[in-house]
Structure 1
Amino acid sequence: MAVLSLLALASLALAQTSLDSFFPPASVVGFPGPTPTGNEPFEVATGPAAPAQTDYFPLVRFRPSDEAANGTYDPFAVSFGNLSPALSLPPTTFSPAFVNSSALIPPQCTLSQVHLLHRHGSRYPTSGSAPASFGVKVANNTGKFNASGALSFLNTWKYGLGAEILTPFGREQLFDLGVSFRVKYGHLLDAFGNGTLPVFRTTSEDRMLKSALNFAAGFFGIPYEDQYHQSIIIEATGFNNTLAPYETCTNGNNANGAAGTTATNDWVAIYLKDAAARLSALSGGLNITASDAYAMQQVCAYEINSLGYSDFCPLFTQAEFQGFEYSFDLGFWYSNFFGAPVAAAEGIGYVQELVSRLTQTPIATHNSTTNSTLDNSAITFPLNQPIYVDASHDTVISAIIVALNFSSLAATGPLPTDHIPANRSFIVSQVAPFGTQLVGQVLNCTSGAGPAQSYIRWLLNDASVPLTNVPGCTADPYGRCLTSTWVSAMKTRIEQVSFANDCLANYTITDVIGANITDGRPPASAVFH
């Protein structure tokens, strides 16, 4: 049988090779027609207005169960937390002072360098997550219940989502991000010169690599392989990787880093209690708990992102989707943001790399998640690029924001687990949606008769992030800070955050939620063993 199988495979391969000969590549066919290249675009410097990401085509907008036919509720913008598609934020999202700020270069400034840190695109659920478990529950009870009304589709529904990898929409998101980034910043490619190719980075995980390649296809066009170098950093236990720092942060993977799950579960039991009873009444014999209702909301979000629409979505009210959004805020705040004891340490390696790039100085001490092999090479970690692009995960980008000490996002403090506060400065869908982008612009600006000075400012999904919390940085209508001042503050921040202490030391925090952490570091109440 083994010999026959090998022969069959060989026969199929031969047949395929024979078919391929009928479809020669473009390099063989020839006749490409005219191919002149135009000037590189530079929309952030030449556009009359900043471009904005406002659409999520081809996903279909749904209506919550209590929305009128003429309602304007936008579930993609305010319902899905980190499962939302990235949309451009209003300029005053993080400060009312930025009413006139945008991604456009401020007046009397020129752009010398841009740093992009982006998340991968829309993906299927992670392996073994709640949606898959709910799918098993429904399958195991098929024929034992007879759902009715809005839930009647459940009688024939079968769970069919993949796991981990990008959805078709996720591929589109990153291709579009690449195109938009070329239109905004393509002019900086002219500054490479001498045949030098850009080096962009991602991790080895499939959705990460495919996101990076889709970005490259959008940014460079096809074929893109000979237009840049793709650095792929191993994402696995035991490998240092600033774009996946949780692989080497012990305390991020034990009870010290699990408070987000506890906070989320506490909130789910409250905000979905009525929904569970309502859905159970329609299920015709299938007991639906608050946890099941939460899984159904997740199925809604994932099916929307992968299939374009989901029958689960109209089962819930606007208030329940607001509760759904808040569940992600809680999970991130206590496990991946300013309320987590390991967040600053997990993000500090990227800050070390950023300072290295901005000062064109190699990293001297590798005491966090920096990779001493890759980061010490001018080939794999160049220090003189006008464009840097790094792909990472939502939890990592949130941790890097903590390490960068963008504390204005933590201004309203720890999040309660029993209600949604009237005002909160941290909303996950603004910080870490699918395809999120954190952009650092390095500018040369003049004022009056003085010489030009170097400034840096940060845009999170096109909204300026305040830097007034950074020592030495003053209020500015565009969010700028002198680069030298900002770098000095980041060097101090690097000295303050101890990866060895926060990530690797053996300590216990009795109650992370009650500890009221607001700096992403272990509290004074932590007991070291």
Structure 2
Amino acid sequence: MALMGCASAATIPASATTETPQYFQTTPELWPGPTATGTAPFLAQTNLAPFGESRTVNPNDPLETQMPIQGKPEKQNIFRLMGQLSHYQPAVEGFGVEEYPLPAGANITQVNVLHRHGSRYPTSSNIVAKLGSALGKAHINATGALSFLNSWKYSLGAEILVPVGRQEMFDSGVLHYYQYAHLYDTNTKIIARTPTQDRMTKSAEYFLAGFFGQEWTNNATIEVIIENSGFNNSLAGGKNCKNSNGDVSALGDDATAQWYNIYLANATARFNSMTSGYNWTADDTYAAQTLCPYETVALGFSKWCDLFTYEEWQGFEYSLDLNFNGDDGFASPTGRAVGIAYVEEFLARLQHHVLSTPEGTANITLDNNTATFPINQTLNFDFSHDTNIFSILTAFGFTQFQEDLPATHMVNRNTIISHITPFGARLDVEVIKTPQPVPANRSSDYVAGPPTTYLHFILNQRTLPLGASFPECGDRVDGWCDIDTFLAVQEKSAALANADYACNGDYPKVPYGTIKDGAPLT
């Protein structure tokens, strides 16, 4: 199939003079992507937000996230409404089940960690940079709440981690050490995998430093997989999936634009009433709202945040849910295809074999070699992107997130991206072996029967119930699933993704909401 190769016509730069194979080389970086840094923060001088009773002054929590927001309910915070741009917090609301401890005698024998990078600057093509450029060229006279624009300058970098992003990854490494350090075999050196972009390799390094300490290179080797157009990479599956980067799969973009033209109509009118020399459109207002989370993680505080009402922040969150649903999830024709390669790798690890004939964008050169795709590691650390992780959940078939989300009004939903792929998101999958079956209602530790192996999916520190998406797993109160049942369910996942056609086929673009199962209609 067209997607099985690992290379393309792109020129591969010469490696540094070293005996290290290119896929284990982290310095110098070969495909770092854009790495522009931004203005250094000066929060002690620029923070205009009040420090009320709800604000804890903690040097290890540097972001100013308490500010007066019109219509905000007590104890609510707009920084939990920022989708994939949210600074990491656990998914405290959970995904529909309670948390249960392991019964006596049960043992976690493997964990697979799929981790998003930490908080970063905007990508180079992001709408906030375009707005910053437009405002910088305009002759603006702003009044009222927008008067800061008379001296404001866009000062963000591009794509690399911001300081709090480094902290998120280090803290996650420490947390995972407390959770899973016992699984590490001190006689081994594990392989951790990451794409080559700078924020990805740095995220892997900060995580491993948190897990193992500064001497982490004694315990782990980072495998860097080329992240560039035309190269197969399960951790950046869209790079060799042509249609995922084209208009045919931009259905979420369409839905987001339709929605923000509705929910930001009043805000756009407000902005225009306070500005001369610049005509605000809904596109501009949406970019201005997006500046709030980006400036907050980069500079510690943003004057853009309190310009919007709480209801408008709820609309912002929904706009991002729509985007992921239509571009990367079940409402996208390439939703399953982009994520299927990692699903196949995960299943191969569970069954202790390499990959030789994968679907999707798995790098067969690396996945068919135990030196670069170990099949018996008890700790597997993989680092990826938000959209890729959401596509992986789609490729697994987590129908808990298979919902009709209209672009005209908000609805109650499970697909809340701030709970699923915030900055620093992590999906931990535990393999649990028990001496006997664990009852589905957890009324006792065990029931009569043979030894059993279960899978436990944990998304941002809360259980993702497998029975909610895979009825074959049963209605378990702990959300677990028998591993053999799960493997049987996943036998159809590659066919459902239809990766070669989804990524390379010639099919028409359809309106947002037409596609329901993450694959082309044909």
TM-score bracket for this pair, using the shorter chain length = 0.7 to 0.9
Q: Deviation string for 1:11-54 (max 9, x for gaps)?
A: xxxxxxxxxxxxxxxxxxxxxxxxxxxxxxxxxxxxxxxxxxxx
What CA distance in whole angstroms lies between the structure 2 residues aligned with 1:335 and 1:182? 34
Structure 2 residue corresponding to 1:181, chosen from 176, 182, 186? 176
- 1:119 offset after TM fit, Å? 0.3
Aligned to 2:30: none
Q: 1:497 to 1:284 in 2, by over 3 A?
A: closer
What letter is aligned with 2:86?
Answer: S
Q: Deviation string for 1:483-511 (max 9, x for gaps)?
A: 11111221222243321121111111332
Aligned to 1:250: 242
Whether contact under 8 Å (1:94, 1:409) holds in the other structure is no
Within 5 A, what are the aligned runs for 1:192-231? 192-193=185-186, 195-231=187-223
Structure 1 residue corresponding to 2:433, chosen from 444, 447, 456? 444
Aligned to 2:84: 82
Match of 1:243, SS state, is helix
Aligned to 1:7: none
Whether contact under 8 Å (1:62, 1:314) holds in the other structure is no
Q: 1:105 to 1:307 in 2, by over 3 A?
A: farther
- 1:389 offset after TM fit, Å? 0.6
Whether contact under 8 Å (1:360, 1:384) holds in the other structure is yes
What CA distance in whole angstroms lies between the structure 1 residues aligned with 2:358 and 2:449? 39
With normalisation by structure 2, the TM-score equals 0.84
What letter is aligned with 2:406?
Answer: P
What CA distance in whole angstroms lies between the structure 2 residues aligned with 1:495 and 1:156? 56
- 1:475 offset after TM fit, Å? 1.4
Aligned to 1:125: 122
- 1:229 offset after TM fit, Å? 1.0
Whether contact under 8 Å (2:166, 2:203) holds in the other structure is yes
Within 5 A, what are the aligned runs for 1:229-248? 229-248=221-240
Aligned to 1:427: 416
Whether contact under 8 Å (2:63, 2:300) holds in the other structure is yes
What CA distance in whole angstroms lies between the structure 1 residues aligned with 2:156 and 2:199? 15
Whether contact under 8 Å (1:120, 1:208) holds in the other structure is yes
What letter is aligned with 2:521?
Answer: P
Q: 1:337 to 1:179 in 2, by over 3 A?
A: same
Structure 2 residue corresponding to 1:149, chosen from 136, 144, 148? 144
Whether contact under 8 Å (1:347, 1:399) holds in the other structure is yes
User: 5+ residue gaps in structure 2?
Assistant: 1-58, 437-445
What letter is aligned with 1:450?
Answer: G
- 1:165 offset after TM fit, Å? 0.6
What CA distance in whole angstroms lies between the structure 2 residues aligned with 1:214 and 1:505? 39
Match of 2:365, SS state, is coil
Whether contact under 8 Å (2:340, 2:359) holds in the other structure is no
Aligned to 2:407: 417
Instruction: State whether structure 2 residue 163 is matched by structure 1 residue 171.
Output: no
Q: Deviation string for 1:59-98 (max 9, x for gaps)?
A: 1113254157x94221221x2111002211236x322xx2
Aligned to 2:50: none
Q: Deviation string for 1:181-236 (max 9, x for gaps)?
A: 001111111xx25x221111001001001100110111110122222111100001
Whether contact under 8 Å (2:119, 2:424) holds in the other structure is yes
- 1:309 offset after TM fit, Å? 0.4
- 1:153 offset after TM fit, Å? 0.8
What CA distance in whole angstroms lies between the structure 2 residues aligned with 1:439 and 1:382? 18
Match of 2:387, SS state, is helix
Aligned to 1:408: 400
What CA distance in whole angstroms lies between the structure 1 residues aligned with 2:326 and 2:68? 28
Whether contact under 8 Å (2:71, 2:311) holds in the other structure is no
What CA distance in whole angstroms lies between the structure 2 residues aligned with 1:349 and 1:86? 26
Match of 1:161, SS state, is coil
- 1:368 offset after TM fit, Å? 1.8
- 1:366 offset after TM fit, Å? 2.7
Whether contact under 8 Å (1:204, 1:232) holds in the other structure is yes
What letter is aligned with 1:467?
Answer: L
What CA distance in whole angstroms lies between the structure 1 residues aligned with 2:198 and 2:363? 20
Aligned to 1:461: 460
Match of 1:239, SS state, is coil
What letter is aligned with 2:284?
Answer: D
Structure 1 or 2, whichever has the larger Rg, is: 1
Q: Deviation string for 1:434-462 (max 9, x for gaps)?
A: 00011111001232343321111211112
User: 5+ residue gaps in structure 1?
Assistant: 1-54, 525-529
What CA distance in whole angstroms lies between the structure 1 residues aligned with 2:210 and 2:505? 43
Whether contact under 8 Å (1:64, 1:318) holds in the other structure is no
What CA distance in whole angstroms lies between the structure 1 residues aligned with 2:155 and 2:497? 44
Q: 1:278 to 1:107 in 2, by over 3 A?
A: farther
Instruction: State whether structure 2 residue 329 is matched by structure 1 residue 331.
Output: no
Instruction: State whether structure 2 residue 507 is matched by structure 1 residue 507.
Output: yes
What CA distance in whole angstroms lies between the structure 2 residues aligned with 1:114 and 1:291? 43
**Alignment RMSD, CA only?**
1.9
Within 5 A, what are the aligned runs for 1:294-313? 294-313=286-305
What CA distance in whole angstroms lies between the structure 2 residues aligned with 1:368 and 1:292? 37
Match of 1:302, SS state, is helix
- 1:471 offset after TM fit, Å? 5.5
Aligned to 2:334: 342
Aligned to 1:489: 489
Match of 1:225, SS state, is helix
What CA distance in whole angstroms lies between the structure 1 residues aligned with 2:77 and 2:60? 11
What CA distance in whole angstroms lies between the structure 1 residues aligned with 2:315 and 2:67? 16
Instruction: State whether structure 2 residue 62 is matched by structure 1 residue 58.
Output: yes
Identity %: 40
Number of positions where the alignment pairs a residue of Structure 1 with one of Structure 2? 454
